[in-house]
Structure 1
């Protein structure tokens, strides 16, 4: 370690501190603006020329948006089509309607697992809230569950949604890790799913059965009535009606964030087969690509086709087109309504796209200034486990900035020089570990925390014991699974 290398490391530490301060201070900088400002500062302090600074920012932001931005946009539109057509509710109700009282948490985890593949955490939770509330209200009336039936069902739902959101592509966080660490996409999906299943079991149904009797959580009666499609009278009786409910982040509807289409909440309007196909098309195409690369010769025409359709942007585009025709136009909605709904879905992810762009700029500056190599040298000398290091960096930054995306993009940029050329199991495990770190310690500076707290009428302490504890348990279990699999590398 030379004196210049130590200077670069100190610069990075100060930059991260400034980033946290800008986002959390009274200035309340948007994470995108904070990332760009810190990137410029790091570049200038490290000795880059002004021309190089601009080029580095443009290359980093443009590169990551080209790799992830389009895929994320198609994913947002696919999620909206699934919600508006009633496909997600159809899947959830078919799974849950076959469950007994003791097995309900497992079925809820299964429903959230399927729905969580293409949907962000907040959107998936909003889509599932009507189902959680209606089933929990029946359980409460029957008295079959000790403690809060809402916590009993919400715990596995939250666990499954946040696990997939942080650890499994095609969610934006894991995709950022795949691109930045040059990991194989199909391998990362397989590894993420292997790590996800035991993680969801422990932090979902198992933890939920333990915590539900210890929390007296009962959402507002009118809120429950609104989400389940009924309205309360002055005596508390429920009558048929409609409405919306407000979570911590704004107005929510069963169909997704904001406005929902005419098909939302009509589980009978789409068959289970069409619903499952729309959810699984992009994931299956990505997995087929990996199988083709492993099993078929490079000269095989079938391999070329499968590799092409398995590219993330092509796979998500194919999934979107399938859902557009199978669910959007077939739902009976006017084409203009479908287009307006898709436009709204893009608006909802605009902020995430900007944060991703800022993270790409920050990552590129770390590479161009040589800070990445300095970190590699320091970590090699300290003999730190790479998976643990990535998990810790993502955990600390996600907790301190209130953004899991910031934690992932920063950790990916910092560790990418140590990941080598990528493509192997090691890189995929690192993507999972970083994603798991970004989930943990989800507290008051995260939008998801307030969405859960307000939706279920929790106190701050109850939300901490449920939502924060669930996501931290997911984070730790995800890391342990990645470390366990690394033994076999």
Structure 2
């Protein structure tokens, strides 16, 4: 590790500290503005020229909006249609039926665990937000729990989605590591599930029960109204445009529970079809081309949205102008979220182009530890500094691939799981998921740290411990 590497690490750490200061101090910078200011400062401090700094900001923000941004927007529209039609209420009532406040977090975590099989973290969260808000609103209205019902219900969902995203194929990160190490897909998936279950449980329902009484989180009223139906809001006055369109929509014929579940699960099923085709029908080029296209998150969400418009809108005789205007209002509450996520993408890209990741690799290469621990550590450090779990996985895979090829004693499948767990560790301000959770639940920086950052740190550590324990057993 050189002096330049050390200086880059110091710049990255100072950049994150400056970001936190600008947001939480008396300066009260808007997160998007703070992210852009810090991105410029870190770029110049790391030695990038002015053009590279500007290009990095534009590329990072644009790339993030092109992916996560469109997914969030489509998910918000689906959530709005579900709420306006009363479908959210149907789904929430089904989940609440027969459950108690004690079992509900476990049930929501199980639902997210299943839905998270084919979905990216951000996509899964956007799809489940209407259900989380609807269920939490009903629980909070009962007044039987201490603290925030939104944290109690939301934490298990966040934990399950994050765990599946990083540790279990067929998500892109684990698949990349499997390809790099030439690991067995089936065994890796089995190990991943064995490690993921205790991680999701401890970081989800268990941690949620501990932290919920200590927080008073409640989403922004506009966003809450967008994702919940009039029956949940009770007798509150409908004073804004979004509420007016909601009231107009729910006067139409009642939506069946079956149709409600079809609309919300359709994108997941489409994305899962891609995974199944790639796994079970590798030789079918036509099938893989079709499922590969429709299985892209943006396309799957678009199909789900169109299906929702037809089944929950046109099919119920909803006025088309009101339907269009209602979809338009769904984008207003998330506009700020999209811009903040774009700022996070800009910050992450500046860190990548500053070669902070190279400094992390140089730091890790001199450590004398087992391959599983080294892989976890490299993935964790790269993910923390670059703001991308995928970068963490790809970097760790590239560094350890020669070692895996030369040492047959290394359990390649457990190494994949460990690297995936490391990539989840300490999700913070340069991760898009951090800002998505923060703004969706209207949390402060401290509250967001106590939720998603701690959640993913627990997942990362439990994943590492489980991988090390399984490594003590006879290998498949």
Question: Do they superpose with TM above 0.5?
Answer: yes
Helix, strand or coil at the partner of 2:29: coil
1:161: how far off?
A: 3.3
Confirm whether residue 478 of structure 1 aligns to residue 455 of structure 2: no
In structure 1, runs of 5+ residues without a counterpart are 138-147, 220-225, 232-239, 246-250, 398-406, 453-462
In structure 2, runs of 5+ residues without a counterpart are 117-123, 179-184, 219-224, 401-411, 472-476
Deviating more after overlay: 430-439 vs 330-339: 430-439
The 8 Å contact of residues 425 and 460 in structure 2, kept in 1 or not, is answered as yes
1:314: how far off?
A: 0.9
Confirm whether residue 89 of structure 1 aligns to residue 89 of structure 2: yes
The 8 Å contact of residues 35 and 362 in structure 1, kept in 2 or not, is answered as yes
Tell me, in whole angstroms, the C-alpha distance in 2 between the residues paired with 1:209 and 1:289.
Answer: 36
User: Normalization by structure 1: what TM-score?
Assistant: 0.66
Matched with 2:47 is 47
Assess, with a 3 A threshold, how the Cα gap between structure 1 residues 9 and 437 changes in structure 2: closer, same or farther. Answer: closer
Assess, with a 3 A threshold, how the Cα gap between structure 1 residues 124 and 26 changes in structure 2: closer, same or farther. Answer: farther
Q: What is the count of residue pairs matched by the alignment? A: 421
Helix, strand or coil at the partner of 1:317: helix
Assess, with a 3 A threshold, how the Cα gap between structure 1 residues 52 and 302 changes in structure 2: closer, same or farther. Answer: same
Confirm whether residue 329 of structure 1 aligns to residue 314 of structure 2: yes
Helix, strand or coil at the partner of 2:156: helix
Matches within 5 A, 1:233-312: 242-243=235-236, 261-262=246-247, 269-298=254-283, 300-312=285-297
Assess, with a 3 A threshold, how the Cα gap between structure 1 residues 90 and 264 changes in structure 2: closer, same or farther. Answer: farther
Matched with 1:381 is 366
Matches within 5 A, 1:209-228: none
Instruction: Select the residue among 335, 340, 359 that pairs with 1:355.
Output: 340
Tell me, in whole angstroms, the C-alpha distance in 2 between the residues paired with 1:194 and 1:260.
Answer: 46
Tell me, in whole angstroms, the C-alpha distance in 1 between the residues paired with 2:344 and 2:285.
Answer: 38
Helix, strand or coil at the partner of 2:246: coil
Confirm whether residue 128 of structure 1 aligns to residue 135 of structure 2: yes
Tell me, in whole angstroms, the C-alpha distance in 1 between the residues paired with 2:334 and 2:192.
Answer: 23
Tell me, in whole angstroms, the C-alpha distance in 2 between the residues paired with 1:60 and 1:230.
Answer: 41
1:436: how far off?
A: 6.5
Tell me, in whole angstroms, the C-alpha distance in 1 between the residues paired with 2:338 and 2:136.
Answer: 26
Tell me, in whole angstroms, the C-alpha distance in 1 between the residues paired with 2:12 and 2:210.
Answer: 42
Tell me, in whole angstroms, the C-alpha distance in 2 between the residues paired with 1:283 and 1:59.
Answer: 29
Matches within 5 A, 1:171-250: 198=198, 201-202=201-202, 242-243=235-236
The 8 Å contact of residues 35 and 347 in structure 2, kept in 1 or not, is answered as yes
Matches within 5 A, 1:35-114: 35-99=35-99, 106=106
The 8 Å contact of residues 84 and 229 in structure 2, kept in 1 or not, is answered as no
Assess, with a 3 A threshold, how the Cα gap between structure 1 residues 90 and 387 changes in structure 2: closer, same or farther. Answer: farther
Matched with 2:353 is 368
Tell me, in whole angstroms, the C-alpha distance in 2 between the residues paired with 1:263 and 1:166.
Answer: 37
Deviations 1:259-311 (A, max 9, x none): 76137778982112111111111112222212212222355211111111111
The 8 Å contact of residues 199 and 474 in structure 1, kept in 2 or not, is answered as no
The 8 Å contact of residues 60 and 361 in structure 1, kept in 2 or not, is answered as yes
Tell me, in whole angstroms, the C-alpha distance in 2 between the residues paired with 1:9 and 1:331.
Answer: 57
The 8 Å contact of residues 76 and 330 in structure 2, kept in 1 or not, is answered as yes
Assess, with a 3 A threshold, how the Cα gap between structure 1 residues 252 and 391 changes in structure 2: closer, same or farther. Answer: farther
Deviations 1:385-434 (A, max 9, x none): 5546766898xx8xxxxxxxxx9937766776445499x97678656655
Helix, strand or coil at the partner of 2:26: coil
1:356: how far off?
A: 2.2
Instruction: Select the residue among 288, 301, 304 that pairs with 1:316.
Output: 301
User: Normalization by structure 2: what TM-score?
Assistant: 0.68
The 8 Å contact of residues 270 and 327 in structure 1, kept in 2 or not, is answered as yes
1:107: how far off?
A: 5.0
Assess, with a 3 A threshold, how the Cα gap between structure 1 residues 413 and 323 changes in structure 2: closer, same or farther. Answer: same
1:242: how far off?
A: 0.9
